[in-house]
């Protein structure tokens, strides 16, 4: 859809609130996207702790495309040269009939990122069910962006007492195809109040002793880094900015901060995968998930006008102003056969992604 049509785009806006009033979430059907999330701080005041737009049509038209809080698919993160094969191989033969070609949209045409030019976060989903505490969206991916088969997905977002948000996504396919999804949410637990403009003082804890080693294109080398004695070690709660001067080039050449995948030590929802907390607001977030990897991105390339509630639009969201946390599968496993990770789904073999976000006060 052209930018000129964006104002008429038929977004469905839905707000859901827990019965005890502890949490309110707002979603739009475009990308099944979380646009606002209101939780209580240590003083009992509500704060909107996720980034976004005041004009949600910018989810479609923003050329920077930061992927604010949408469902990313059909395949999250990166695919080298936009090619993969079924069965998978490390360097697919581009002329083989089992090799599939996707449009590239990152690193000067060397990478397909987050599902392609118009991935699931840039598709309008259909509302199939609503209640005061939940909303379910449906998306049918008709072999878009060059992926094989038709994939039908249902995403259900719900809130419950005690400050809990849950998202569950189930998907089925008509043919063998890779599926790897994530919810690409940007967090700032201070909500840009009390003079706070970044997340460097947020405390992060990650249940992960291994990091996915990546090359200059942020693609996996196939190896894992032991986080011990590195700025990647968040097994004990640590401020995100505590070792900031040691993160140069960790998220790419010249980049300062974090942008990569940690392999969880206890996947499949065995306790929280991570926690994020702010002493300033007193808000604490614990995330549990059935996914094996968590990507943490400290928004180095972010340069987008803020929502009015966050002090915008004359002030921008900028590098380190938020942390994106993405629960997902192993990055680019469809091009990394040595891992033995199966991300190929087929009729009768369905996909499920789930995460729980639990808020409390410090």
Residue 193 is part of which domain span? 13-361
pLDDT at residue 301, rounded to an integer? 95
- Residue 149 pLDDT more than 90? yes
| pLDDT value at residue 3 | 37
List of residues 6+ apart from 268 with CB closer than 8 A: 290, 292
Residue 2 belongs to some domain of the structure: no
pLDDT-derived band at 252, boundaries 50, 70, 90 = confident
Q: What is the pLDDT of residues 71-113, one digit of tens each?
A: 999 999 999 999 999 999 999 999 999 999 999 999 888 999 9
**∠ CA 23-306-357, rounded to 5°:** 25
In a domain, 5, yes or no: no
Is the per-residue pLDDT at 64 higher than 50? yes
At 251 the pLDDT is: 86
Write out pLDDT tens, residues 172-229: 999 999 999 999 999 999 999 999 999 999 999 999 999 999 998 899 999 999 999 9
* pLDDT of 230 strictly over 80: yes
* Mean pLDDT of all residues in 7-25: 89
> With 70 as the cut, is the pLDDT of residue 6 above it?
no
Interatomic CA distance for residues 228 and 209, integer angstroms: 7
Joined tokens for residue 312: 């915008």
**Would you say residue 3 lies in a domain?**
no
Domain count, the chain: 1
Mean pLDDT of the chain: 95
Q: Is the pLDDT of residue 7 over 90?
A: no
- Assess if residue 1 is contained within a domain: no
Compute the average pLDDT of residues 28-39.
98
- pLDDT in the model for residue 2: 33
The answer to whether position 4 is within a domain reads no
Mean pLDDT score, 326-344:
98
- DSSP state letters, 251-320: TSTT--S-EEEEEESSTTTSS-SEEEE-TTT-EEEEEEES-SEEEEE--TT--EEPPGGGT-SSSEE-TT
The CATH number assigned to the domain holding 266 equals 2.70.98.10
| Residue 205: per-residue pLDDT | 98
Classify residue 8: in a domain, yes or no.
Answer: no
Confidence (pLDDT) at 269: 59
Indicate the pLDDT class of residue 270, thresholds 50, 70 and 90: low
Cα–Cα distances in angstroms (integers) from residue 191 to residues 32, 188, 308, in the given order: 22, 5, 11
pLDDT of 8: 55
For the whole model, what pTM was predicted?
0.96
Q: What percent of the chain has pLDDT over 90?
A: 91
> So what's the pLDDT on residue 5?
43
Residues 142, 327: Cα–Cα separation, whole Å: 25
């Amino acid at each position: 859809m052209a930018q000129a049509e964006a104002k008429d785009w038929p977004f469905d806006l839905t707000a859901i609130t827990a019965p005890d009033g502890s949490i309110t979430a707002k979603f739009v059907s475009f990308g099944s996207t979380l646009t606002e999330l209101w939780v209580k701080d240590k003083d009992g005041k509500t704060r909107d702790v996720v980034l976004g737009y005041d004009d949600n049509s910018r989810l479609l038209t923003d050329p920077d495309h930061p992927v604010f809080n949408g469902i990313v698919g059909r395949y999250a993160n990166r695919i080298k040269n936009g090619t993969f094969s079924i069965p998978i191989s490390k360097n697919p033969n581009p002329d083989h009939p089992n090799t599939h070609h996707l449009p590239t949209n990152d690193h000067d045409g060397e990478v397909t990122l987050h599902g392609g030019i118009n991935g699931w976060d840039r598709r309008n989903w259909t509302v199939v069910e609503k209640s005061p505490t939940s909303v379910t969206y449906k998306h049918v991916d008709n072999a878009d962006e060059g992926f094989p088969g038709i994939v039908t997905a249902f995403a259900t977002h719900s809130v419950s007492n005690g400050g809990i948000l849950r998202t569950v996504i189930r998907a089925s396919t008509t043919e063998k195809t890779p599926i790897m999804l994530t919810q690409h949410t940007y967090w700032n637990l201070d909500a840009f109040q009390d003079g706070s403009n970044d997340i460097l003082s947020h405390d992060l804890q990650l249940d992960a002793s291994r990091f996915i080693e990546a090359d200059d294109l942020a693609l996996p080398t196939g190896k894992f880094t032991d986080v011990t004695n590195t700025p990647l070690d968040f097994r004990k709660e640590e401020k995100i900015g505590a070792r900031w001067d040691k993160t140069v080039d960790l998220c790419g050449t010249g980049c300062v901060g974090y942008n990569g995948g940690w392999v969880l030590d206890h996947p499949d929802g065995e306790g929280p995968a991570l926690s994020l907390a702010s002493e300033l607001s007193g808000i604490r977030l614990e995330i549990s998930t059935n996914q094996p990897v968590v990507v943490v991105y400290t928004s180095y390339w972010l340069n987008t006008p803020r929502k009015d509630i966050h002090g915008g639009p004359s002030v921008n969201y900028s590098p380190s102003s938020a942390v994106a946390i993405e629960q997902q599968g192993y990055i680019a496993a469809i091009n990394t056969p040595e891992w033995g990770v199966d991300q190929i789904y087929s009729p009768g073999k369905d996909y499920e992604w789930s995460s729980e976000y639990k808020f409390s006060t410090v």
